[in-house]
Amino acid sequence: MLEAKCITRRFGRTLALDGVNFSARVGEIQALLGENGAGKTTLMKVLTGGVRPDAGAVELDGSPLPLGSPDAALRAGIAAVHQSPMLFERFSWEENLALGGFGRDGGGFGLQQIDLHAVVAKARALTHHLGFELPPPGAIIADRSVAERVRLEVLRALSFDPRVLILDEPTGVLAPNELTAFLDLLRRLRGEGRMVVLITHKLAEARAVADRITVLRGGRLVAETTPAESDESELARLMIGKVTIPPEQQVAPLANPATLLEIENLTYRSAGVTILDGISLRLGAGEIAGVAGVDGNGQAELVEVLAGARKATSGWFGVRGSDGSSMAVIPQDRDLDGLILEMALWENFLLPQPLRERMTRRGWLDVARAMELCRAALGAFRIRAAGPEALASSLSGGNRQRLEVARALTQNPRVIVAHNVTRGLDLVATADVHRTLLEFAADGGAVLLISSDLDELLAIASRLLVISRGKIHPTEPEDRSPERLGLLMAGRWSE
Amino acid sequence: MLARLAKPAGAIALAIALIALVLLALGASPAGVFIALWQGAFGNWIAFTDSLVKATPLVFTGLAISVAFSAALWNIGADGQLVIGAIAAGAVGPFLGGWPRPLALTIVLIAGAIGGAWWSAICGWLRARRDTNEVISTIMLNFVAVQILSWTVHGPLMEASHAYPQSMRIAPSAEMYMFMPPTRLNLGMILALVLAIAMYLLLFRGEVGFQLRAMGINRRAANFFRIPIASLTIWTMALSGALAGIGGAVQVSAINHRLYEKISPGWGFEAIAVALVARLNPLGIVVAAIFFGALDNGSQAMQRAEGVSPVLVQVIQAVVILILLAFDTSAWGNIREVFSRAPVAATSIEGADA
Amino acid sequence: MLEAFLISTIAMATPILLAALGELLVEESGIINVGIEGAMLAGAFFALSGVYFTGSIAVGLTCGIAAATAINAMLGVLLINLAVNQVVAGTALNIFAAGITGVFYRKFFGITGKAFIVSPLHALAIGPLARIPFFGPMLFDQSPLVYLAFLLVPVFAWLIRRTRYGLRVRAAGERPEAADALGLGVYALRWQALIVSGVLSGLAGAFLTLAYANTFVENISAGRGFVALAVVILGQRNSWGLAAASLLFGAAMALQFGLQALGTAVPYQLFLALPYALTLIVLAFFGGQARDPSALGIPYIRN
C-alpha cells in the first residue's frame, strides 16, 4: 500500500497542495480527479520524487520513501507516465527503453556496452501479455504516432517493474477507439497486482475504469468515492465546487452565410513528407467549424500556414473582404508560440501584425495607446492581472489563454482560427472561452476550431470536419458521435 | 530606480572584495591599489577628462553589444568590427586634405560605419541563411581583422618614411573637433551620447526595436507573428557592427590620427562587461562605460604605484561579469533576466498548471 | 619539406584535438563551453610555471591540468547550478583567464619577458617504428601528448556512442527534464563532462608551452579554443570527424610557417589569418546546427 500523509507544497504565492492525504492499494485502479490547477500533477511529482514537499511523508508498504529524488522513487518501485512527453525524441525506441529500467542491471559506472538486443528481448517479454506491438527495430521516436508514443512511455515506466504506476492525463491525445484499448491495458496491469493511479479530468473515463475515485480541488482532498456512489454530475460538482456552469449551446447556422475564409488546395511538404495534402475548405459567417483529429495529423502546420509563419508549398487561402489581415490565429502552445512570457502584457498586444500597425506611427510605437488598448481588454474579459505592465509570466494558465482570446478579438477579425484553445484550462475558463467564441460567431464572425477534444467540438461546433494525415474530410450529421468520429479520425472512411 | 541600481552596485562591491583577495595574493596592497586607481582616474582635471576619453570607445562597442545581445545574437566580434571601422577611417582619412572639415569628418565616420557593418553582417548572413553559430564566426573574424590591420600598417597604408609600423597620418580636415585643450575631449564623445539616446529610442520606442527584442526573447513566438527573423538578424548584426565601426573611426579621427598594430586593447570584450552592468540598456551603457573607462585610465597609475600590471583590469572586468551573472539567476529567487535565459525557456513554470 | 610540414601538421592538430574531444563530451551533455580558450590559456601558463619553478614535468602537467579544471569548475557553478547564459559566462572566463595569466606572468617574469624558457617535453620516439622512412618520424616520433590525443579518438567514439554512460550523457543533452525524471542525474553528468574537458584543455594548453613553443607569451592560445569549438561542429560530432577536422586546421597552421619560409611576395599576415578564415569558410558550408543535441545551450534548472 502506498500512503502519502499531509503533503503540503507551495510555489511562490500559490499553495499547490494543502495537507493532502492520499493512498493507493494493490490490485486497484484509482482515479485522481480534479480540475486543471487542482494539484494533481504536483501530487504526482511528489510521489515520483520530482518535487520535494514542504511538509508531509510518503510510505510504501510501510517503509518511508525518501522524498525529492526521482532515483529513490524508481528504486522503491514508483514509476510514472508524465503529462508532457518525456521520451527522447531523437533516440530510437530501444535507446529510450535502455534508459529506463531495462538498461540498469549491473550497476557500476556504466562503462558497459549498450546491449540493445537484451533490451528488445525484455521489451518483448513484457508486451507479450499486454498485447501491443513493438515498433520496427531502430525506429526513432519522433517518427512514431502519438498513441504509440504513449504506449512506449507506459512500457518504459513498466520496465522498472514498478509496484505503483501513475499515469498523468495519458488519454488526452488518444482517439476514442485507442482509448478503449488503453483502459483495457490498465485493467491488465491491475490484474498483475500493481497499484495503478490514473490522473485525469475526464469524468467518463474515471468512472469507466476506476475502483476508487479521489477528488482534489484547490490543492485539497475534497472527496473519496467510487463510481457506484457518484455519477458524473456529482463528480463535476465535487471538482468545481459551487460555481455553476451554464450549459453550452451551439450557434443556429445562418440562412445563407457569406463565405469569410476560403482555403483552396493547400499543400505543405517538408523533407519529402506531405504534411498537408490539398486542404480545401470554405468557412461562412456565423459558423464554428470544428476540425477533429488526433494531434500530429497536420493541425499544427495548418495553423502555422494560416498564421503566415510557414509558407505553403502550393495552394492558397484568403479572407474575403480584406487582404487576409482580418484573421486572428490562436496557436496551441500559448507559452512558446502565442505569448512572450518575459514581456509585459501591453507588449504582447503588439505581437499580432494588425494590432502593431494600429499602434505604430511611422515606425515609432505609441506606448500610451498600446497600454490603453491592453487595459481595456483586460477589463472587458475580466483577466486577472496587475495591469498592462505586468509580465505575461505573472498570469495563470487560464488567464494567459483568456488574454490570447482577448487579443485575438481586439484585432476585430472576421475569422478566428483556434488550436486546442482550451487545453489545460479549468472548467470555468473553458466555459468562458467557449462563450466568447459562440458570441463571436453569433455576431457574424467565423471560427475554425481545431481540437483533439471531442467533447469540446461536439458541444459548440456547428459543423464538423475530420483531419487525418493531412487531409480534411467533411462529416455527415449522423457522424456526430464519439465512436463514429473516432473511426474517422483513425482514417477509416468507408466503415 | 534605486532598486535597479542595487544589483549592479552589489556586484561591483563584491567584485572589489574579490579583487582585493587577488591583490593580496600578488603581494600588493589592496588599499594602495584602489587609491592609485582612484587617483589615476579622477585625481585631477586631465585625469578625469582622460577617463571620459577612454570611456568613449566603450560606449560605441557597448551599444553594439547591447543591440546584438538584445536580439540574442551573440556578437563577440565587436573588437574586429571596431578595427575594420578604424582601418576604413585610416584608409580614407589621409586623402581628405583640403576638403571642408564637416564633410571630411562625415565621410570618415560613414566609412567606419560601413566597414564595421559589413564585417558583422557577414556573420549575420551566415547565421540567417546557413545557421552558422555567430559566436564562432564573429570571433574568427576578430583574428582576421587583426591581420588585415597589420598588413595595412606594414603595407599599402604605411607612412612614407617606412620607419615605424604605422599608417599615414589622416589629413587635418579629417581630425575630430577637440574641446578644451590640453584635454582630449572631442566631438566624438558627443556623437557617442547621441547614439546612445538614439539606440535607446530605437530599442524601446521603435517598432523595429520591439521586433528585435521579441526575437531575442522568444524566437518561436516572433516567427509565429511573422516577424522577419532572417532579415532582422542580418540588419541587427549590421547595425551592431556599424556602431563598433564608428567607434573605431572616432578613435582614429580624434585620438590616434593614424593606424597602429594594436588599436584596440580589447574594447570589444570589455564592452560585454559594460553592456551587462548596464543590463543592455543604452542609457545605462554610458554610465557603465565611464566606470570601466575610469578603471582603464587608473590602471597605469596602479602599475606605477604598486607594480601591479594593468592587465589586472581584465580580471576586474571578468569578475564583474561573473558576479552579475550569478546574481541574476532564479537560483537566487530573482526573476530571470533577459541574459540568463535562452530565447525559448525549456524549464516549466511550476504551479501554473498543476 | 613535405615531411616537415606533415610532422608539423600532426603536432599543431594535437592541442585542438584534445580540446575538441573534451568539448564534444561537454556538448553532448547539453552545455556549450565558450571558455575553452581560457582554460587552455590557463593550462598553458600554469604548466610552464610548474616546470619552471620545480623542474619537474609531472608537476607542470599537474599544475596545467589543475588550472584548466579550475576554470571549468567556475564555469560549472555558473552554467550548471545557476543556469546562466552560457555564451556570456564562457566569454567572461576567457577574459578572466587572459587577465590572470597576464598578471601572474608579468609578476613572475616582468615585462622584459626574460628567459621563461624550459627544456621541452621531448618527443618520444617509438623504437624501430620511428625509423620508417617518411612516415616514421611523423607518426611515431612525436611528443607523448600527440599519441594521447589520437589514442583518445577511438576511446571517445566508444565512450559516447557505445556505452551506457555515453547514452546517459546524450540523454542529458537531449532532454534534461526527462533525464532527471528517470533519475539519471543531469547535473552530475554535466559536471563530470566539464571536469574531463578541463583535464583535456589543460593538457592541450600544456602542449602549447611545453612541447611546442617552450615558452609563454600572452594569449599564446591564439584562438585555438574557438577553433576547437568549430572543429566539434565540422567533425559532425563524431570523434573520427573531429580528428580529421583538427588535422585540417593543423595543416592550415603548419602552412603558415611553410609558406613564410618559401619567402613569397604574399604578405605574411595572410598566412597568419589563414586558419581563422579557413575555419569560417568551412563552417559556412558545413556548419549547420541541425545536429546539435536538442537542449544544447539552453540553461536548465531541475525543479
- Domains of chain A from N-terminus onward: 2-240 (3.40.50.300), 259-489 (3.40.50.300)
What is the structure's pLDDT at B23? 84
Q: Would you state the pLDDT for residue B2? A: 65
Residue with cell 542525474: C185
**Which three cell numbers mark B219?**
524566437
Please state the ipTM of this predicted complex.
0.87
| Minimal CA separation from A50 to chain B, in Å | 11
Between the ranges B202-206, B341-345, C122-126, where is the mean pLDDT highest? B202-206
A424-446, pLDDT tens digit by residue? 787 778 888 999 999 999 888 89
Low-confidence ranges of chain A (pLDDT < 70): 105-109, 242-256, 321-325, 492-495
C-alpha A268/C-alpha A302 separation (Å) is 8
What residues in C contact B276, CB-CB < 8 Å? 88
Amino acid making up residue C114:
K
**pLDDT average, residue stretch C188-214:** 92
Closest chain B residue by Cα to residue A399: B352
CA distance C143 to chain B (A): 28
Cross-strand pairs, A140: A92
pLDDT (0 to 100) of residue C272 = 85
| Strand ordering across the sheet containing A463-468 | A327-330, A415-419, A446-451, A288-292, A463-468, A471-474
Inspect the interface and report whether the beta carbons of B354 and A42 lie closer than 8 Å. yes
Query: Is C237 part of the contact surface with chain A (CB cutoff 8 Å)?
Result: no
pLDDT greater than 70 at residue C136: no
User: Which residues in chain B are closer than 8 Å to A331, comparing Cβ atoms?
Assistant: 224
Q: Which residues of A touch B220 (CB under 8 A)?
A: 336-337
Cβ–Cβ of A356/B207 closer than 8 Å?
A: yes
> In chain C, what are the domains?
2-111+145-286 (1.10.3470.10)
Determine whether B18 is exposed, middle or buried from the number of CB atoms within 10 Å of its CB (0-12, 13-18, 19+).
middle
Q: How far apart are CA A473 and CA A465, in angstroms?
A: 6
In terms of Cα–Cα distance, which of A196, A150, A200 is closest to A174? A150
Q: Dihedral of CA B7/B9/B12/B17: which sign?
A: negative
Indicate the pLDDT class of residue C111, thresholds 50, 70 and 90: low
pLDDT higher than 70, residue B339: no
C157 vs B160, residue with greater confidence: C157
The terminus-to-terminus CA distance of chain B in angstroms comes to 36
Q: Which residues pair with C278 in a beta bridge?
A: none
**Cβ-proximal residues to A439 (8 Å cutoff; 6+ apart), any chain:** none
Mutation target for A interface from C182, C189, C303: give the one with most A CBs within 10 A.
Answer: C182
| Residues 102 through 131 of chain C touching chain B, CB cutoff 8 Å | 102-104, 106-107
d(CA B302, CA C184): 50
Residue C98 has pLDDT above 90, yes or no: yes
Q: Is B340 a residue whose pLDDT tops 60?
A: no
Give the separation between CA A136 and CA A277, rounded to whole angstroms: 26
Res C125 pLDDT > 70: no
Residue C110 has pLDDT above 70, yes or no: no
Q: What is the interface size between A and B, counted as CB pairs within 8 Å?
A: 89
A81-85, B153-157, B249-253, range with greatest mean pLDDT? B249-253
Option in B27, B308, B339 nearest C88 (CB): B339
Alpha-carbon gap: A178 to the closest alpha carbon of chain C (Å): 25
The answer to whether the Cβ–Cβ distance between B269 and C96 falls below 8 Å is no
Please give the distance of CA B142 from its chain centroid, rounded to a whole number. Answer: 14
A365:B206 CB<8 A: yes
Task: Please answer yes or no on whether B217 and A340 come within 8 Å at the CB atom.
Answer: yes
Question: A362: how many CB neighbours lie within 10 A of its CB?
Answer: 5
Residue of A nearest to C183 (CA): A71
Q: Are B352 and A363 inside 8 Å of each other by CB?
A: no
Q: Which residue has the higher pLDDT, C192 or B309?
A: C192
Q: Chains meeting A at 3+ CB pairs closer than 8 A?
A: B, C
CB pairs under 8 A between A and C: 71
Average pLDDT of the segment spanning B159-163: 77
Q: Do B136 and C87 touch (CB under 8 A)?
A: no
A contact residues 307-336, partner C, Cβ 8 Å cutoff: none
Chain C residues 162-191 with a CB less than 8 Å from chain B: 176-177
* Distance, CA of B273 to CA of B280 (rounded, Å): 10
Helix (H) or strand (E) holding A463: strand A463-468
C81 → closest Cβ in B150, B328, B331? B331
Q: Which of B335, B344, B353 sits opposite A397 (nearest CB)?
A: B353
CB-based contact A35:A169 (threshold 8 Å): no
Find the length of chain C: 303
Inter-chain residue contact B325 with C85, CB threshold 8 Å = yes
Contact yes or no for B330 and C270 at CB 8 A: no
Cell reading at B125: 548572413
* C155-159: average pLDDT: 93
pLDDT at B353: 32
Nearest C-alpha of chain C: how many angstroms from B106?
A: 31
Q: Among A309, A270, C230, A301, which residue's Cα sits nearest to residue B218? A: A309
Return the partners of chain B (3 or more C-beta pairs < 8 Å). A, C
pLDDT for A291 equals 93
Average pLDDT over residues B304-316: 82
pLDDT at residue B334, rounded to an integer: 35
User: What is the chain A residue with the closest CA to C165?
Assistant: A110
Q: What is the pLDDT of residue A489?
A: 78
Alpha-helical (H) ranges within A265-339 are 299-307
B332: chain C residues, CB-CB within 8 Å: 82
* Residue A139 CA, distance from chain mean position: 25
The amino acid occupying position B8 is: P
Contacts of A14 in chain B (CB under 8 A): 351
pLDDT of C72 higher than 90: yes
